[in-house]
Amino acid sequence: MENKEAMQAVELRVDLGERSYPIWIGSGLLDRLGDASRQAAIPAGSPVLIITDEHVGRRYLKRAEQALHAAGYRTASLTVPPGEHSKSLAVFEDCVRAGLEAGCDRMSTVVALGGGVVGDLAGFVAASYMRGVRFIQVPTTILAHDSSVGGKVAVNHPLAKNIIGAFHQPEFVLYDTATLQSLPDRDVRSGLAEMVKHGLIWDAGFVDWCEANAGKLLAKDEEALAYGLAQGCAVKTAVVSQDERENGLRAILNLGHTIGHALEAVAGYGELLHGEAIAIGMVGSARLAERMGAAADVAARTEALMRQFGLPVSIPAGYSTEAILDAMMHDKKFKEGRTVFVLPTAIGKVEIRRDVPVELVRNIIEELKGETT
């Protein structure tokens, strides 16, 4: 971006041939949304549809609109209710209606202004509206450093999470770290779970850094956040650039998600936040790994990390083990009669396993239920 230094933006690049795109991370970037859109050759002749939620819209929609208007864009917007329930076919339909009513056509662009819920929803709208239109990610949560990169977009079905979706890469990701100052503490912790995950699957040094800087991250120190988000995005970018459509390597990003997604589905979406569910899932995976021969300190250190970030490490009361196992069968990671697990072999290293015995999974779930945090 021009005047990058003045804006103190970090630029990363997702390398995907003709679908390559930049990620800009920096304080105050929201006001540059129009310039960045111009630079990315976003067409100005058709309306831009901004999709946001009530918490984010109240704070940041006007600024996003002003930035786009100043650069010559016409905009329409839809503000959806906050939370996981908005990742539904019903809300998807509301978005399509808003697009049609605003006169959005095939040259229109959808802007996702919000966290992972808005990003996944708006991305799926962009992937399917008139068979696909351009899409911009403006993430406003810590968790969205993960969800805004990589092009996975989806809504949920009551039986399974993210089961109706597509791969649709954004034109760019514009990450204004100043917006994170208004993020509630519970969402801060939930987002940091995915940040730590990026260390656990790829980069032991980054795990050390997260441990050493947990206090700053939890206190939303902007410099620490910008560094951690850039490192997390860099891991995601490296993985996605090698395997865009999850034919192999990309599956490692699912550490903690086999158990985590099942917990989210069983809880009723929104009860457990995504990062909370995968924190429990990461502890479960580390214990599975240990029983299957991984280095002995991995489970203890994973659990200690989750505790350090104020994340849950056990399954809350009232969850049925059979319901959790059932939910795993509906997951996308269930293939050819087997559940796929990402298991840590050491801090910073994981492997994909299809041979985890269901009895062992059942035991670990029982174990995770038996504990209180």
Residue 233, helix vs strand vs coil: helix
Q: Which helix (H) or strand (E) is 334 found in, with range?
A: strand 334-335
- Give exposure, 235-259, as e/b (b: 16+ Cβ within 10 Å): bbbbbbbeebebeeebbbbbbbbbb
Residue closest to ligand NAD (Cβ) = 116
Rounded CA separation 128/90 (Å): 15
55 catalytically annotated: no
Residue with tokens 């410099």: 223
Instruction: Confirm or deny that 141 is annotated as ligand binding.
Output: yes
236 catalytically annotated: yes
Nearer to ligand NAD, 46 or 134 (CB): 134
Q: Does 82 bind ligand NAD (CB under 6 A)?
A: yes
Q: Does 55 bind ligand NAD (CB under 6 A)?
A: yes
Instruction: Confirm or deny that 194 is annotated as ligand binding.
Output: yes
Burial group, residue 81, by CB count within 10 angstroms (0-12, 13-18, 19+): exposed
Task: Spot the catalytic one: 65, 84, 171, 194.
Answer: 194
246 catalytically annotated: yes
274 catalytically annotated: yes
| Token pair in block for residue 117 | 């819920």
Nearer to ligand NAD, 108 or 190 (CB): 190
Strands (DSSP E) contained in 98-239 are 109-114, 134-139, 152-157, 160-167, 172-176
By rule CB under 6 A, what count of residues binds ligand NAD? 32
338 catalytically annotated: no
Q: Does 183 bind ligand NAD (CB under 6 A)?
A: yes
**Among positions 141, 169, 237, 302, the unique one binding ligand NAD when judged by CB under 6 A:** 141
Residues 6+ apart with CB under 8 A from 250: 150, 239, 240, 242, 243, 244
Instruction: Confirm or deny that 116 is annotated as ligand binding.
Output: yes
| Token pair in block for residue 1 | 């971006």
In the stretch 94-123, what mask flags binding to ligand NAD with x, by CB under 6 A?
A: --------------------xxxxx-x---
Q: What are phi and psi of 352, to 5 degrees?
A: -100, 125
Q: Which positions make up the binding site for NAD(+)? A: 116-120, 140-141, 152, 161
Residues that bind ligand NAD (CB under 6 A): 53, 55-56, 59, 82-84, 87, 114-118, 120, 140-141, 143-144, 146-147, 150, 152, 162, 179-180, 182-183, 187, 190-191, 194, 274
* Residues with catalytic function: 131, 152, 194, 236, 246, 250, 254, 257, 261, 274
